[in-house]
Amino acid sequence: MATFRSLLLSGLLASTTKAQAFDAGVRGEDAFSYVQPLNTTILGPYGHSPAVLPSPNTTGSGGWEEAFAKAQNFVSQLTLEEKADMVTGQPGPCVGNIVAIPRLGFGGLCLQDGPLSIRVADYASVFSAGVSAASTWDKNVLYERGLAMGKEFKAKGAHIALSPVAGPLGRSAYSGRNWEGFSPDPYLTGVAMEKTIRGHQDAGVQATAKHYIGNEQETQRNPTYDRNGTVTDVIQEAISSNIDDRTMHELYLWPFANAVHAKCASFMCAYQRLNGSYACENSKALNGILKEELGFQGYVMSDWGGTHSGVASIEGGLDMNMPGGLGPYGTVPEAGSFFGGNVTLAVNNGTVDVSRVDDMILRIMTPYFWLGQDQDFPSVDPSSADLNTFSPKSTWVREWNLTGERSRDVRGDHGEMIRRHGAEATILLKNERNALPLKAPKSIAVFGNDAGDDVMGFYNQGDFEYGTLVAGGGSGTGRLTYLVSPLAAINARAKEDNTLVQQWLNNTLIANSNITDLWIPETPDACLVFLKTWAEEAADRQHLDVDWNGNEVVESVAKFCNNTIVVTHSSGINTLPFADHPNVTAILAAHYPGQESGNSIVDVLYGDVNPSGKLPYTIAFNGSDYNAPPTTAVNTTGVYDWQSWFDEKLEIDYRYFDAHNISVRYEFGFGLSYSTFELSDAKAEPLAYGIISKPEDLPILPGGNPALWESVYNVTVSVANKGDVDGATVPQLYVTFPDSTPAGTPPRQLRGFEKVFLAAGESQTVGFELMRRDLSYWDVVSQEWLIPAGEFVLSVGFSSRDLKEVVKITPVEA
As a whole number of angstroms, the distance between CA 486 and CA 599 comes to 7
Residues 111-130 that bind ligand BGC (CB under 6 A): 113-114
Any contact of residue 149 with ligand BGC (CB under 6 A)?
Answer: no
The residue length of the chain stands at 814
Q: Please name which of 592, 468, 473, 458 lies closest in space to residue 535, comparing C-alpha atoms.
A: 473
Query: Which of the residues 31 through 90 are near ligand BGC (CB under 6 A)?
Result: none
Q: How far is the CB of 549 from ligand BGC (least distance, A)?
A: 31
Contact assessment for residue 171 and residue 646, using Cβ atoms and an 8 Å cutoff: yes
Least spacing, CB of residue 210 vs ligand BGC, in Å: 6
Question: According to CB under 6 A, which residues from 457 to 496 bind ligand BGC?
Answer: 475
> Is residue 413 among the annotated active site residues?
no
3-state secondary structure of 148: helix
Closest C-alpha among 797, 795, 778 to residue 786: 778
Residue (95 or 300) nearer to ligand BGC, CB: 95
613 backbone φψ class: left, alpha, beta (φ>0; ψ -120 to 50): beta
Of residues 257 through 296, those in contact with ligand BGC by CB under 6 A are none
Smallest separation (angstroms) from ligand BGC to the CB of 809: 41
C-beta of 160 vs 480, nearer to ligand BGC: 160
Binding flag, residue 162, ligand BGC (CB under 6 A): yes
* 217 contacts ligand BGC (rule: CB under 6 A): no
Question: What is d(CA 754, CA 767) in angstroms, rounded to the nearest whole number?
Answer: 8
> Which one of 83, 195, 210, 411 is in contact with ligand BGC (CB under 6 A)?
210
532 strand-pairing partners? 569
User: Residue 110 Cβ, how far from ligand BGC at the closest point, in Å?
Assistant: 13
Cβ count within 10 A of residue 804: 16
Closer to ligand BGC by CB, 113 or 359: give it: 113
Kindly state the smallest distance separating residue 335's Cβ from ligand BGC, in Å: 17
As a whole number of angstroms, the distance between CA 459 and CA 471 comes to 10
The Cα–Cα gap between 484 and 447 comes to 17
Buried b or exposed e, range 119-153, using 16+ CB within 10 angstroms: bbbbbbbbbbbbbbbbbbbbeebbbbbbbbbbbbb
Using the rule CB under 6 A, is 303 a contact of ligand BGC? Answer: yes
Residue 365 amino acid letter: M
Number of residues that bind ligand BGC (CB under 6 A): 8
Q: How far is the CB of 163 from ligand BGC (least distance, A)?
A: 8
Binding mask 82-101 for ligand BGC (x = CB under 6 A): -------------x------
> Given the complex with ligand BGC, which of 305 and 613 has the nearer CB atom?
305
- Max alpha carbon distance in the chain (Å)? 84
Shortest Å, Cβ 157 to ligand BGC: 17
> Could you tell me the smallest distance in angstroms from the CB atom of residue 460 to ligand BGC?
12
Q: Which amino acid is at 152?
A: E
Nearer to ligand BGC, 477 or 612 (CB): 477
Provide, for the chain, the percentages of residues in helix, strand and coil under a 3-state DSSP scheme, each rounded to the nearest 5: 30, 20, 50
Q: Is 304 in the site for ligand BGC (CB under 6 A)?
A: yes
Closest CB to ligand BGC among 323 and 703? 323
112 close to 118: Cβ distance less than 8 angstroms: yes
Residue with CB nearest ligand BGC? 475
Separation between Cα atoms, residue 747 and residue 750, nearest integer Å: 10
Which lies closer to ligand BGC via its Cβ, residue 330 or residue 594?
330
Q: Are strands 526-533 and 273-274 parallel, antiparallel or unpaired?
A: unpaired
Catalytic residue among 30, 113, 245, 303, which? 303
Rounded to 10 deg, the angle between the 597-605 and 486-496 helix axes is 40
Catalytic (active-site) positions: 303
Contact set with ligand BGC (CB under 6 A): 95, 113-114, 162, 210, 303-304, 475
